[in-house]
Amino acid sequence: MTVRILGISSLVTLALTVWLGIWVTPPDRVQGDLVRLVYIHPPIAWVALYLATGIATLASLAWLWSRSRSPYWDRLAASSIEVAVVFTALTLVTGSIWGRPTWGVWWAWDARLTTTALLLVVLLGILAIRRIPADPETRARRSALAVIIAAVDVPIIHFSVVWWKTLHQSATVLNANLQPTIHGSMAWTLLLGFVAVTLLFFWMLAMRMRIERLTDALEGAELTDALEERWAEGAPEVEGVAR
């Protein structure tokens, strides 16, 4: 029921965001209708950089700590990383769509763009690490350490527009002065966009966690069947030796 509520809520809020962003809010005085991407691009980046990667990092730390070590944390970290890959890729795609008319190119080796692309590569590497044949504990340890390494890139991405001279604009809401540069209906639509994409993330995470649980159960059942087959094959030999 919780997953169903999350799915319906995310669908409704996303539809409202699209309606408000396209037909209700006014165009920007400088960027015109291009500003409508602001209602979806920053929320996607928020999920990719902070929410999904943050949850994966906390889950990895919980698994590495011996007192809280549990398969649940490994499943949570793995699920969050997979969702983070989707949202990081969408961050780069929507950013490129925004950058083409603004900067004149689809891609520039800007500090924020480059570090975000690096994060995507590292996240894909974590998924590859999880596919290397190993026992569950070894796989979880490798993945947890790789997630922590990936998390180091997040503050670099966040402060890249401050540390270096970049094409990417500074933060719209969480800037250094904590003074939002967006107001009125545009601000409320942006806030709704953050809520909608966050709900979508938690729905995707819950669905991915369900798949992880089913996969673990299936692997456990296959292992049990394989052991029973081996025992059945060895039983006549043992009986023959006894005679």
**Lowest mean per-residue pLDDT among 19-28, 107-116, 186-195, 208-217:** 208-217
Is residue 113 included in any domain, yes or no? yes
Contact present, 98 and 80 (Cβ < 8 Å) = no
Q: How many domains does the chain have?
A: 1
Give the model confidence (pLDDT) of 15-28 as tens digits. 999 999 888 888 87
Range of the domain at 56: 2-222
* CATH code for the domain of 158: 1.20.120
Residue-level pLDDT at 109: 84
Please report the pLDDT score of residue 242 as a whole number: 45
Radius of gyration of the chain (CA): 23
227 belongs to a structural domain: no
Q: Confirm whether 69 is domain-assigned.
A: yes
Percent of the chain with pLDDT over 90: 47
For residue 27, give the DSSP letter: P
Q: Residues 204, 83: contact at Cβ < 8 Å?
A: yes
pLDDT in tens, 57-98: 999 999 999 888 898 999 999 999 999 999 999 999 998 888
Q: Concatenated DSSP letters for 95-122?
A: HHHHHHHHHSSS----HHHHHHHHHHHH
Cα–Cα distance measured from residue 195 to residue 189, given in angstroms and rounded to the nearest whole number: 10
The pTM score is 0.82
